Amino acid sequence: MQPEEWVRQHCIQYLIQEKGYPKSLINVEKELTINSLKKRYDIVIYNTDGSIHLIVECKAPKISINQKAFDQIARYNLELNATFLMVTNGLNHYYCQMDFKNERYQFLKDIPEYIS
């Protein structure tokens, strides 16, 4: 298993077991097109209405989380319009909530638990 895949699997388990997100709303490694470039996101969690609640970008543990990682997930979110973003390397986790009105994101201490 690749290091990034290890992080992805552990993150999925965290989202299900600790945050209560239903497996049925979790989607892993799908392709999307941004500015005619094909990209793949790591994890997306949907709301029950089909809109996107959370995007997760997973990095290998040896990769430090920096502005470049946030820029990457922010670009994905231009297409996906998720409410929450998460970037993790399995050791460090960063969460933010989108403020679409002001076109920025606000960092959070944690992502919210699933509310049905």
DSSP notation for 57-97: EE--TTSPP-HHHHHHHHHHHHHH--SEEEEE-SS-EEEEE
Q: Give me the residues of the chain with pLDDT under 50, please.
A: none
Please give the class, per CATH, of domain 3-108: alpha beta
In angstroms, the Cα distances linking 30 to 34, 38, 41, 83, 109 are: 13, 10, 6, 18, 27
pLDDT value for 82: 94
pLDDT value for 37: 76
pLDDT value for 70: 82
Cα separation, 50 vs 82, in Å, equals 11
pLDDT value for 11: 96
Domain boundaries, the chain: 3-108
pTM of the model: 0.89
> pLDDT (tens digit, 9 = 90+) per residue, 33-61?
777 778 788 999 999 999 999 999 999 99
pLDDT value for 60: 94
